[in-house]
Amino acid sequence: MNSLSWWLWSILLAAAAIRAGTLCIGFLLILIFTLVVAKHKKSDEWGNPFKLTMQLALAATVVRLFFAILIGTPLPGKTLISLPQLELPNWLAGIRVGGDVTRERLISVINESSKFAVVLIAFGAASALSSPVQVIKLISGRIYLFGVTLIIAVSVLPQIVNSFNRVQSARRMRGLTKLRLNNFRNIITPVLEESIERAIDLSAAMESRGFGYSKNPTRYRPEKFTLSDLLIFTSSIYLLIFTPVLINSFGALLATTLFGIFALSPLFLIRKQVVLA
Amino acid sequence: MITFSNVSLIYPNSQRTILDNLTFTVDESELILVIGLTGAGKSSFMKLINGVIPHHTAGLLSGEIIVDGKTTNLLKPGELSGVIGIVGQNPLNGFVTSKVEDEIAFTLETNGFAPDVMRKRVEEVIDLLGLQNLRDRNLFTLSGGEQQRVAIAAALVMNPKVLILDEPTSALDPVAAEEVLAIVNKLVHDLGLTVIMAEHKLERVIHFVDRIVLVNGDGQVEIGTPQEIMQKSEINPPIVKAAKKLNLATIPLSVRELKRISATWQIRKKAMREKFIATNDQLISVKNFSVAIEGKTILKSVNLVFNSGEIVALMGRNGAGKSTLLKSISGQFKNFTGSIVVNNRRPSDLVGKELVQNIGFVPQEPSDLFYGNTVAQECEMVDLDNKLTIGTTIKTLHSLSNQIKLDLHPRDLSEGQKLILAISIVLATRPKILILDEPTRGLDYQAKDILVSILQKLAKDGTTILMATHDVELVAEFASRVLVIAEGELISDGPTIEVLTASPAFAPQMAKVFSNQNWLTVNDVISADINFTGNDA
Amino acid sequence: MMLRKTTFLLLPISVIGLIAFTWPLYLPESKLIFLRGENAKWLATFILPLAILAFVLEINFGSLDSKSVALLGVFAALICALRLLGAGAIGIEPIWFLLILIGRVFGPTFGFTLGITAIFISGLITGGFGPWLAFQMMAAGWIAMMAGFIPRKISGNKELLILCIYAAVATQAFGILMDLQLWPWLIGADSQISFVASDSVVANLHKFFIFHFATSLAWDIPRAIFTIALIVLTAKPILISLKRAEFKLGVKATAREKRQMAV
C-alpha cells in the first residue's frame, strides 16, 4: 500500500482520537496500531521504529504524571493520596511540592497524556509502515534537488555504518582495543575522509549524468494509488468527522466498537489491487 | 569522434604537468586502451573528455577538446551526458539510490525524460547488460562485477556515443572481468560505441583493443597500435615481457599468438624452480570450519593446517568466502562453527600486544588503517600506540620503499604506496603471521613487482604469509602453496605449481602458453634453454 | 557551490523560528481560539515546518548544485550514523561537535541546511517523529549556522578556543530551546510551573527556568562537556580534512594561476 495512505490513515485516526477525548478510544487506537504494524510492517533495517515510539510515549506519560503529582495545580474533588507537602522558597517561585492528589487531577493528566501518546504512536506506526525512500519521493515532489539530497543520505547511510565497522576492525588489528574518548578521533578521521572522497566521486558522477541541468526532472515510477488506499482514506475521514456524533449518541461502548471496526480497515486489505492512478 | 588539439593540463598548486601539448584523434567506434603507472594521469586524461576537468574538478587546461562536434570548453559535463557516459574507478561511490532499477532510471529522471521513454530504455539496458535477475536488489549487496555493470547501465541508458571506463576490472575476479570485457566488446562491435578504457591488467584486454594511449606522467603521451606501444613501453603483460626478453621478432599479444610462435620451439633444459621446503612447525590449524549467514552457507567444513614460514595464496571468486576465512583466522570474525587455533590460542582471544605480535592484518582498504595527517605522523603514532622506540615504523617503511615522501597526507598516496605504508604499519610489531586481504586492487605491474619482492624478503625472514587474491600472475610469482575456495568448499590445496597448472581458470599466461612445461612465470621461461628453430637465440 | 553563499530567507525564517520557540514566554491573552493557551502549541508546531519548507524551496531553486547535494547528503548520513552508533554504544549522541566544525568551514547557509537535513533523516530512519522534530531541525540548523559566522581568518589555538566557547554556549542554548519547545507539551497549562498567557515575560521566565533547571543538570551540562571534549580532541584533524575537501571541490583557478599556465 501507498506510503502516503499509511501516513494519512495514522494522522486522521490520531486526530479522531483527540476529538473523541476519551481514554477508551485512546487505548483502542494504540491496540489497533500495534495490530496493523505487526501485520504490515516492512522489514526493519534500522531497528524497530514502532517499539521506539511506544517507549517514548510511555516515558512521556510517566514524566507528565510525575510532574502533575508533585507540582500540579490541584483540582477540587476526591482526594486519593495525600503526600507530605513542601513549600519551596520564593526564589523557586514558591511552588508547593506534594500535597493532595485528587482523582480528578489524575484523570485529567492521564487524558492529556494519552492524547500526546496517541499522536506519538500514530507517527511511529506510520514510520514503521512506510519506506523512507517512498516518503521522501512523495514529499519532495517538485523540490527535486533537495529530494535527491535526502535520497542520497538514506542510500549512503549503510555504507557509512560499514565504514565505521571497518575502521573499528582495523584498529583492533592494530592492537588498539580500548574505546576511550581519546581514540574517538582516530575513528572519526578515517570515516570522515572516506565520506569526503565519496562525496567528491559522487558529485562528479552526478554531474556527468546530467544532474541539475534539466529544469523538469521526471519520475520513473509515479506512486500508484489503489482502491485500498481510497477506501482506507475515506473511512478515516468519516471517522474523523463523525466521532463526536458517535460518542454522544451511541454511548461509549457502542461508539468504541464502531470506531474500532472502521479503524481496523487496513487489516482487511483487498488482495487484488485495483490501480486507480 | 574525439579530437584533442594542443591540450595541456596542470593541476593548480602542483608542479607536475599531466599533459603537454597533446594532439590526437579518436575515430568512431574505436576501442582505446589507456595505460600508465598509477598516478600518471590516466584518470585525468579521461576526465578531460567529458569536461569533468576543468568544470567540476579544478585543472588548468589549455587547448581544445572536441567530442562529436561539441567543444568541452564551452559545455559543462552535464550537457554532454547524452553523448558521453563515464564510469569512475569506484562505481559504488557514484550511486545515488539504493536499488538497481532506481539507479538506472535516475539518469533519465534527472534529464527529464517522459515515463514511457524511460521504461523502454531501462528495459533495453537491463537486457543488454544481463541485469534482469538483479533489478530489485540493493546496490550495496551486489558483487563488484554486478555493481560495475549497473554503473555501465546507468551511463548507457542515455544512448551515448562514447563510453569512458576507468579501470573497470581492477577489483574483479577473472570471471567477472571476462563478463564486463565481453560487454565492452559487444558495445564496440555490435552497437558501434566508441570506448575509452583504462586498465592495469593488460593481459585481459590488450589483444582486442585498437590503439593504446600511454600516459607517461611527465606530460608526454605515446599513442599507437598495441604492437608499437608494447615495444616502447616497460608496462608489459607477462606474454609481452617474455617475448621481449627472448628477443622475438614480433610481439605476441595473446596466449594464442605466443602459442603459435612457440609451436616449433624445442626446450632443451628447464630451469629448476627453487623448491620450497616447509617447516614442520604448525602455526595455524583450522578444523571443521563452517560459516552460515542468514541461512546461506558461505563455507562448509574447511580443514586446514598452516606451518610457519609458508607463503600461501587463497584464491577463489569474489564472494567465495576468502575474506571471511582470513578474518576468522585473525579473530575479527567470530560467527563460525568449528575451531581455529593460532599459535596455541584462539584468535578471538588475542587482543592488544599479543595480537599484533602474532598477526598483522592488512585490510582490503588500506586507508582504513590511516588516521594521521602525514606519513611521518602516521608512523610515529604506530610507535606510540605499540610502545615501540620512535622511528621503528619509519625504518620499516624505508626498508620496503624509499619513494614515499614523508610529508604527504596518507590518503594522497598512490594505491601501491598506500599498500606499502599499510604493510609497514602492520609489520612494525614484527608479527609472526602477515595476512593480506586482496591487496592487488588498483596496483600497476611495477607496484606488484615491489609487493612480490617485499613478500619474498619477509618469507626469507621467517614470516608466514597468507594472502587472499584472484591475481594469478601474482600468485605464480610468490606463493609456495595455493588454496582454492569455490561453492563454500576448499576444492584445491597444494603446491603452487600443481594447483595453477591444474585448471585453465587459474593458470597464469605462461602456463597457458607452455602447457606441458610446468612453467608459471616469465622467469621460468627465460631462464630455460630453448632452441628457437629458425631464430638465432 | 553553496559555499559561503547567504540566502534571503535565512534571516526571516530564523525570526519565525525564534518566535515559534519562545512564544510561551510572552503569549498574550487572546480571544482567538487558536492562540489560547494550550492551542498555541499546535499552531507553532504547524508553522515551523512551513517556515523550513520555505527555506528549502529557496535553496532548491537557487543554491543547490551537484557538489552541495552530494556533500549535504553524505554529511547528513554521517551525522545520522554517528547518532545511531553513539546512541547504541554510549547513550549520547556525538553529533554537535561535527555540526559545529562543518558549519565553521562551509558557512552559515550550508551549515543550516545540513542541520535540518541530518535531523530530518535521522527522524525518518528511526521513526522518532514527534512535534519536536521540526524544532530539533531548526535548532540543529542554528547551531551549525552560527558556527559559520566565525571569521575565516582565525586559525590555530585561537580558533580552537573560540570553537570551545561556542560549543559551550551553543549546547546550552540548544537545551534551553528544546526545553522551551517541550514546556507546554510536557507540563501543559495546569501545573504550577506552566506558562501563563497573560503574565509578564519575567514571571514566565522564572517558571521556565525552574522547569529547565532539572533537565539542565541531567542533559545540558553533560552534553556541553562531551561536545567540548570532542572538539578539543578532534578539531585539528577534522578541520584539516574539511578544508582539504573545500580545496578539492573548488572549481575556478585563480587568474594568477592561469597566467602561470601560459608560461
Cβ contact (<8 Å) for C261 and B58? no
Give first-to-last CA distance, chain A, whole Å. 13
Mutation site for C-interface testing, chosen from A18, A121, A192, A209 by largest number of C Cβ within 10 Å? A192
Same domain, A229 and A205: no
Instruction: Say if A214 is an interface residue toward chain C (CB within 8 Å).
Output: no
Tell me which chain B residues have a C-beta less than 8 angstroms from the C-beta of C244. 409
Tell me, yes or no, whether A142 lies in a domain: no
Tell me which chain A residues have a C-beta less than 8 angstroms from the C-beta of B105. 220-221
C-alpha of A128 from chain center = 8
Cβ contact (<8 Å) for C262 and B62? yes
Domain extent at residue A11: 3-136+222-268
Instruction: Say if A245 is an interface residue toward chain C (CB within 8 Å).
Output: no
Give chain A as a DSSP string: --HHHHHHHHHHHHHHHHHH--HHHHHHHHHHHHHHHHHHPPP-SS--HHHHHHHHHHHHHHHHHHHHHHHBPPPSS-EEEEEEEEEPPGGGTT-EEEEEEEHHHHHHHHHHHHHHHHHHHHHHHHHHHS-HHHHHHHHHTT-HHHHHHHHHHHHHHHHHHHHHHHHHHHHHHTT-----HHHHHHHHHHHHHHHHHHHHHHHHHHHHHTTTT-S----SSPPP-BHHHHHHHHHHHHHHHHHHHHHHHH-HHHHHHHHHHHHTGGGG--SSPPB--
How far B59 CA lies from chain C's nearest CA (Å)?
A: 7
- Whether B2-233 shares its CATH topology with B282-487 is answered yes
Contact residues, chain C to chain B, C-beta under 8 Å: 66-67, 237, 240, 244, 248, 250-254, 257-258, 260-262
What distance in Å separates the CA atoms of residue C229 and residue C232, rounded to the nearest whole number? 5
Residue B372 has phi, psi (to 5 degrees) of: -100, 175
Q: Where are the beta strands (DSSP E) in B36-79?
A: 60-67, 70-71
Residue C67 has phi, psi (to 5 degrees) of: -70, -45
Low-confidence ranges of chain B (pLDDT < 70): 271-275, 533-537
C251 closest CB neighbour out of B8, B58, B371: B58
This prediction's pTM? 0.91
Domain boundary among A162, A185, A209: A209
When computed from its CA atoms, the radius of gyration of chain C, rounded to whole angstroms, is: 20
What distance in Å separates the CA atoms of residue C126 and residue A45, rounded to the nearest whole number? 10
The pLDDT of residue C255 is above 90: no
Cβ contact (<8 Å) for C66 and A68? no
C-alpha of A229 from chain center = 20
Please report all neighbours of A, defined by 3+ CB atom pairs within 8 A.
B, C
Pairing of strands B60-67, B70-71: antiparallel
Sheet holding B282-293, edge to edge: B296-307, B282-293, B337-342
Which residue is closest to A178 within chain B, CA to CA?
B352
Q: Residue B434 carries which side chain, given as an amino acid letter?
A: L
- What SS3 class is residue B23? strand
ipTM: 0.91
Instruction: Say if C235 is an interface residue toward chain A (CB within 8 Å).
Output: no
| Largest separation between any pair of C-alpha atoms in chain A | 74
C-alpha of C160 from chain center = 20
What distance in Å separates the CA atoms of residue A116 and residue A23, rounded to the nearest whole number? 12
Cβ contact (<8 Å) for A202 and B111? no
Tally the residues of chain B: 537
Tell me which chain A residues have a C-beta less than 8 angstroms from the C-beta of C9. none
Cβ contact (<8 Å) for B54 and C253? yes
Cβ contact (<8 Å) for C253 and B409? no
Cβ contact (<8 Å) for B10 and C262? no
C241 closest CB neighbour out of A63, A182, A192: A192
Same domain, A38 and A120: yes
Which residue is closest to C94 within chain A, CA to CA?
A184
Low-confidence ranges of chain A (pLDDT < 50): none
> Given CA atoms C159, C165, C168, C170 in this order, what sign does their dihedral have?
negative
How far A200 CA lies from chain B's nearest CA (Å)?
A: 9
In tens, the pLDDT along B187-232 reads 999 999 999 999 998 988 998 899 999 998 888 999 999 999 999 9
Which residue is closest to A165 within chain C, CA to CA?
C85
The pLDDT of residue C111 is above 70: yes
What distance in Å separates the CA atoms of residue B421 and residue B372, rounded to the nearest whole number? 12
Q: Residue B164 carries which side chain, given as an amino acid letter?
A: I
C74 closest CB neighbour out of A47, A123, A152: A152
Tell me, yes or no, whether A82 lies in a domain: yes
Query: Which residues 358-417 of B are in CB contact (within 8 Å) with C?
Result: 371, 373, 409
Same domain, A252 and A130: yes
- Do A205 and B91 form a contact (C-beta atoms < 8 A)? no
Percent helix, strand and coil across chain B, each to the nearest 5? 40, 25, 35
Instruction: Say if C215 is an interface residue toward chain A (CB within 8 Å).
Output: no
How far B14 CA lies from chain C's nearest CA (Å)?
A: 10
Which pLDDT belongs to residue C34? 66
Cβ contact (<8 Å) for A156 and C84? no
Same domain, A14 and A118: yes
Tell me which chain C residues have a C-beta less than 8 angstroms from the C-beta of A136. 124
Tell me, yes or no, whether A214 lies in a domain: no
Superfamily of structural domain B282-487: P-loop containing nucleotide triphosphate hydrolases (3.40.50.300)
A71 closest CB neighbour out of C56, C80, C191: C191
- Do C97 and C227 form a contact (C-beta atoms < 8 A)? yes
Give B104-145 as a DSSP string: HHHHHHHTT--HHHHHHHHHHHHHHTT-GGGTTSBGGGS-HH
Same domain, A88 and A14: yes
Instruction: Say if A47 is an interface residue toward chain C (CB within 8 Å).
Output: yes
Of all residues in chain C, what percent carry a pLDDT higher than 70? 86
The pLDDT of residue C263 is above 50: no
What is the mean predicted confidence (pLDDT) over C242-260?
Answer: 65
B60 closest CB neighbour out of C237, C240, C257: C257
Size of interface A-B (CB pairs under 8 A): 172
In tens, the pLDDT along C120-173 reads 999 888 877 777 899 999 999 999 999 999 998 888 899 999 999 999 999 999
The pLDDT of residue C112 is above 70: yes
B140 closest CB neighbour out of A159, A175, A207: A159
Other Cβ atoms closer than 10 A to A268: 10
When computed from its CA atoms, the radius of gyration of chain A, rounded to whole angstroms, is: 25
Instruction: Say if B377 is an interface residue toward chain A (CB within 8 Å).
Output: no
Tell me which chain A residues have a C-beta less than 8 angstroms from the C-beta of C244. 196
A73 closest CB neighbour out of C129, C191, C207: C191
Instruction: Say if C202 is an interface residue toward chain A (CB within 8 Å).
Output: no
Same domain, A97 and A156: no
Q: Residue B268 carries which side chain, given as an amino acid letter?
A: R
In tens, the pLDDT along A244-272 reads 776 676 666 666 677 777 777 776 665 55
The answer for residues whose C-beta is within 8 angstroms of residue C162's C-beta and 6 or more apart is C150, C154
A214 closest CB neighbour out of B112, B118, B371: B112
- Alpha-carbon distance values, C132 to A32, A119, B117, C210 (Å): 24, 12, 43, 21
Tell me, yes or no, whether A29 lies in a domain: yes
Tell me which chain A residues have a C-beta less than 8 angstroms from the C-beta of B386. 174-175
- Reported as type and span, the H/E element at residue B214 is strand B211-215
Same domain, A175 and A62: no
How far C58 CA lies from chain B's nearest CA (Å)?
A: 19
How far B421 CA lies from chain C's nearest CA (Å)?
A: 19
The answer for residues whose C-beta is within 8 angstroms of residue C209's C-beta and 6 or more apart is none
Tell me, yes or no, whether A36 lies in a domain: yes
- Do A243 and A20 form a contact (C-beta atoms < 8 A)? yes
- Do A96 and C192 form a contact (C-beta atoms < 8 A)? yes
- Listed residue (B444, B478, B522, B505) closest to B202, CA to CA: B444
Number of domains within chain A? 2
- Do B148 and B87 form a contact (C-beta atoms < 8 A)? yes
Tell me, yes or no, whether A8 lies in a domain: yes
Tell me, yes or no, whether A215 lies in a domain: no
Domain boundaries, chain B: 2-233, 282-487
Q: Which three cell numbers stand for residue C55?
A: 527555506
- Alpha-carbon distance values, A244 to A18, A115, A250 (Å): 10, 16, 10
CATH of C10-251, one of 1.10.3720.10, 3.50.50.60, 1.10.1760.20, 2.102.10.10: 1.10.1760.20
Which residue is closest to C42 within chain A, CA to CA?
A116
What distance in Å separates the CA atoms of residue B494 and residue B512, rounded to the nearest whole number? 19
Same domain, A155 and A177: yes
Q: Which three cell numbers stand for residue B526?
A: 627465460
Which pLDDT belongs to residue B26? 95
The 3-state secondary structure of C188-235 reads CCCECCCCCCCCCHHHHHHHHHHHHHHHHHHHHHHHHHHHHHHHHHHH
In tens, the pLDDT along C205-216 reads 887 887 788 777
The verdict on domain B2-233 having CATH code 3.40.50.300 is yes
Tell me, yes or no, whether A85 lies in a domain: yes
Please report all neighbours of C, defined by 3+ CB atom pairs within 8 A.
A, B
